[in-house]
Structure 1
Amino acid sequence: MEETTRICIVRHGETTWNAEKRIQGQIDIGLNALGQTQATAAAKWLSGQPVAALYSSDLLRARQTAERIAVSLSLLPTLRPEFRERRYGLFEGLTYDESRARYPAEYQAFERRDPDFVIPQGGESLRQLYDRVRTGLQRVATEHQGATVLVVTHGGVLDIVNRLVRGTSLSRPRDFLIPNAGISWVSLCGERWALDTWGGTEHLAMVGLDELP
């Protein structure tokens, strides 16, 4: 009988740039006061879960979220750059509206989710991001077969995770929420991924932002 590996995936808490709808990408922005509260609430909610290992993106907002969860689980977070946010290239530092106004052609390709559109000035395509995230998830699942592990990451990564486990197209419009500090569970049995629960916010006094387009 094949073992099932469970992965809990938590989006980082809110940042000031999330609230401003400003594209962070791999710019290293920390949590704001609300984001710190959200991270603490997620940590309390997850306390007592039988988690074998804790992984996190190495970007500050994810690390700060993971550090609070680590205390509640008595674990040390392992940083994995494959769980970083997508590189948004020339859009990084701009709001979505500013990006649309300043780079209309590039934003149109971004908005229609062209899988092979590489955002200029150091950005990634959705397909490149998919390959990176799939490799990272598979690595974690292989290292902890049959166990429960936790990953703290970003909205763009969670978008890919949802499509990976559901088998939906990268170009399909998003039909799910990705709230700050939302908690999702996926599992892998053999070679079959499954979506168990998605974007849970029961632990939050106020539902976290989903500022992504």
Structure 2
Amino acid sequence: MKQLLLFRHAQSEANVTGSLHCTVPGPPLTSNGREQAAALADRLAGTDIAAVWASGMTRAQQTAEPIARSHGLSVTVHPDLREGFVGDLHDRRDDEAHELFDEMSVTWFLDGDLDFRRPGGESGREIVDRLGGALDEVVAGLADGQTAVVVSHAAALRLTVPQRCPGISPLRALRHHLPNTGLVEVEVTAGDWFCRTWDGVKPV
């Protein structure tokens, strides 16, 4: 059995402003976000961690760095762990943009239409294939019994994990938003994924 601790990054400047910012490198963490990242490192101090991974986005790397440092590790950056690109909604902060983003999420999560995309953006299927492939690389780098920390992004994680873990329905993922530093615990045994907890709650 191998274990993945999948975290959403800490609070970023985009979170505070409500920006749908999704390009690399993107905005950094806020001062509160840096405190959240430090607290997360403290929380994991007693956990045996073999590897720390993050997306190429600044907010993910700044969240991962205190964890890696406290375990004497370096952060491995994988570009495919980044957030999904929302095309014409990128960096918008208005109510209409957020409503359109929510409609796209419903199309992906509830209608199951992963081929849908905003103009110029990624489809749900492209996000799942990209992030899923990166997570497969993380798992392949672990020996049996080892644990890896992965710092990624809310929408990409919520969309991808239910495609791998039978115990998590897309509806549950849609309803249970991952907060900053929210955690999804996953066990992988012989290629089979099992979600132990979703933001501290065991799947029903």
Q: TM-score range by the shorter chain?
A: 0.7 to 0.9
CA spacing shift, 1:115–1:139, aligned 2, 3 Å: same
Matches within 5 A, 1:1-213: 4-27=1-24, 28-95=26-93, 97-99=95-97, 108-109=103-104, 111-113=106-108, 114-121=113-120, 123-146=121-144, 147-167=146-166, 174-200=174-200
Distance 2:102 2:125 in 1: 17
The runs of at least 4 aligned residues of structure 1 exceeding 6 Å deviation read none
Which ranges of structure 2 fall in alignment gaps of 5 or more residues? Answer: none
Identity %: 30
How far the C-alpha of 1:184 sits from its partner, in A, is 2.4
How far the C-alpha of 1:88 sits from its partner, in A, is 1.0
Q: Residue 186 of structure 2: SS of its match in structure 1?
A: strand
Q: Residue 51 of structure 1: SS of its match in structure 2?
A: coil
For residue 23 of structure 1, what is the amino acid of its counterpart?
A: L
How far the C-alpha of 1:26 sits from its partner, in A, is 1.9
How far the C-alpha of 1:174 sits from its partner, in A, is 0.8
CA spacing shift, 1:130–1:173, aligned 2, 3 Å: same
TM-score normalised by structure 2 residue count = 0.85
* Preserved contact between residue 107 and residue 116 of structure 2 (Cα < 8 Å): no
Aligned pairs, number: 194
TM-score normalised by structure 1 residue count = 0.82
With 92-101 and 124-133 compared, the bigger mean Cα shift is at 92-101
Q: Residue 4 of structure 2: SS of its match in structure 1?
A: strand
With 155-164 and 171-180 compared, the bigger mean Cα shift is at 171-180
For residue 114 of structure 2, what is the amino acid of its counterpart?
A: P
Distance 2:172 2:119 in 1: 22
* Preserved contact between residue 58 and residue 84 of structure 1 (Cα < 8 Å): yes
* Preserved contact between residue 127 and residue 160 of structure 2 (Cα < 8 Å): no
* Preserved contact between residue 23 and residue 96 of structure 1 (Cα < 8 Å): no
Distance 2:90 2:176 in 1: 23
